[in-house]
């Protein structure tokens, strides 16, 4: 029987994950089916139980179930534990193993696809919700010199920063109006782009050498990307991160790492 996987979300119809995993499977010669499962808002656990009963090998989890996925896992990998959220479930030997590939996907996109090293760099992270939390450990593992976390609600940033104090990297929380100096990398991990808004980051945060990355993606650049580009920064949306987090999940499940380069160009067009 062909191994079965899916992405669980609500909504889920827009998800590009089935296309991405089908392309990885074709490229690596792996036999698998990857579909979509819409879960009712109060029915995530039932869907997971149903998948396990049907012999599925794993699932990706998207909005709004990443926290519930961490709760339902019988075992959590370190990066899922640090993120407090799960986007990749593996059903193995009666266990539900939770992992989080979002942060590693972002790091892979910045370092491999954009060709920007994080070691020794100054990073400004905008937002302190689930998306921001998920990238903290993968960022710290790259040894940046500083991570400044700016959030509208200061208390959330303080809590996040307290959870990720580090020996090598200076990790601090600020209000948007207290952002000082410029940064090598600015990551928008707020959900402001969904409302066509941008967090109030000052122009002085960007230079011509800054990489500005929005975790969101769409047909057009986000307001954050347009603002950063106006200051001379190089910009990137979250599409590369999406493909890389999928590649990381595929590697966990199949033990084979797909090459993301051709997909990154073909899927964009
Ligand atoms: P996600 O899982 O996408 O991170 P979340 O946990 O709800 O979603 O977090 C959303 C983040 O976007 C938060 O940091 C939020 O700021 P608050 O903590 O102050 O709510 C931030 N955010 C959302 N809309 C924003 C806006 N218009 N401007 C600035 N920050 C915004």
Band of pLDDT at residue 262, cut at 50, 70 and 90: confident
Instruction: Identify which of 249, 171, 183 has the alpha carbon closest to the alpha carbon of residue 212.
Output: 183
Query: Above 80 in pLDDT, residue 222?
Result: yes
pTM: 0.95
223 CA → ligand 1 middle, Å = 15
What sign does the CA torsion over 256, 261, 263, 268 have? positive
| 156 in contact with ligand 1, CB cutoff 6 A | yes
pLDDT tens string 226-260: 999 999 999 999 999 999 999 999 999 999 999 99
pLDDT tens string 134-148: 999 999 999 999 999
Residue 269's pLDDT is what?
65
Domains in the chain, CATH or no CATH each: 3-100 (3.40.50.10860), 103-238 (3.40.50.720)
Atom of ligand 1 nearest to the CA of 153: 19
Q: How far is CA 52 from CA 73, 93, 106, 127, 200, in A?
A: 12, 11, 29, 35, 44
57 a catalytic residue: no
The residue whose CB lies within 8 Å of the most ligand 1 atoms, and thus the one to mutate among 161, 190, 198, 241, is: 190
In b/e form, how buried is each residue of 202-236, taking b as 16+ CB within 10 angstroms?
eeebbeeebbbbbbbbeeebbbbbebbeebebebb
pLDDT tens string 46-57: 999 999 999 999
């Amino acid at each position: 029987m062909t191994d079965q996987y899916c992405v669980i979300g609500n909504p889920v119809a827009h998800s590009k994950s089935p296309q991405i995993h089908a392309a990885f499977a074709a490229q690596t010669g792996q036999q698998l089916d990857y579909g979509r499962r819409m879960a009712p808002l109060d029915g995530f656990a039932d869907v997971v139980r149903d998948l396990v009963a049907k012999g599925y090998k794993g699932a990706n989890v998207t909005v709004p179930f990443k926290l519930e996925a961490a709760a339902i896992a019988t075992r959590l990998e370190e990066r899922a534990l640090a993120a407090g959220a799960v986007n990749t479930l593996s059903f193995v030997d009666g266990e539900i193993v939770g992992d989080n590939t979002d942060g590693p996907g972002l790091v892979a996109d910045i370092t491999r696809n954009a060709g920007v090293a994080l070691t020794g760099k100054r990073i400004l992270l905008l937002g302190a919700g689930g998306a921001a939390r998920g990238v903290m450990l993968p960022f710290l593992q790259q040894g940046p010199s500083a991570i400044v976390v700016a959030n509208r609600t200061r208390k959330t940033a303080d809590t996040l920063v307290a959870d990720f104090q580090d020996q090598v990297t200076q990790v601090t929380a600020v209000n948007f109006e207290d952002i000082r100096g410029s940064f090598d990398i600015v990551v928008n991990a707020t959900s402001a782009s969904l409302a066509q808004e941008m967090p109030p980051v000052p122009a002085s945060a960007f230079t011509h050498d800054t990489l500005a990355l929005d975790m969101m993606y769409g047909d057009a650049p986000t307001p954050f990307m347009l603002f950063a580009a106006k200051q001379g920064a190089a910009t990137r949306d979250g599409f590369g991160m999406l493909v890389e987090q999928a590649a990381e999940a595929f590697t966990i499940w199949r033990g084979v790492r797909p090459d993301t380069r051709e997909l990154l160009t073909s899927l964009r067009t």
